Amino acid sequence: MSLVSILESDTKLHIELLNAISAQGDDPTVARNLEFMMGANSKKDIEKAACFIQDNRFGETTLFECEGRHMLMVYVEMPLHLNAVLSVAGFMRCVCDLFNVEHEEWATDVQGPTSINWDKVPRNC
């Protein structure tokens, strides 16, 4: 599958996630951390992706291991405006492609009067 096709497919999933978060009472104008999870079998590849993101100040990074896989969590503080989220999520997908790591998902907390019910939120983004 081409990167363009992957980005188009991801966009639909990201919109579903944003709609689910909105349905939970989220205020999209409130800045909060979006957490982008990446994984790789190669420690070298995940470290290169982390350095690229950190060195260029695209986000804060945390490296860790989970069940033998090398993982990277990227934190980007921003509001949940549709075009901004889609742009940053698309950029993170491109970073994954560039450094041969897998894009796992992204998540955030609801900023509003209610807490999110994660059972109602699609988690395949």
pLDDT tens per residue, range 54-94? 999 999 999 999 999 999 999 999 999 999 999 999 999 99
Count of beta carbons in the 10 Å neighbourhood of residue 44: 11
Average pLDDT over residues 107-118: 68
Confirm whether 57 is domain-assigned: yes
In a domain, 125, yes or no: no
Rounded CA separation 97/27 (Å): 32
Structural domain containing residue 62: 3-115
> What is the pLDDT at residue 125?
42
Q: Mean pLDDT score of the chain, rounded to an integer?
A: 89
State which amino acid sits at residue 39. G
120 occurs within a structural domain: no
Residues listed for the chain = 125
Q: Are 108 and 4 in contact (CB under 8 A)?
A: no
23 within domain boundaries: yes
Q: How far apart are CA 93 and CA 106, in angstroms?
A: 11
What tokens does 6 get? 């992957």
Whole-prediction pTM: 0.83
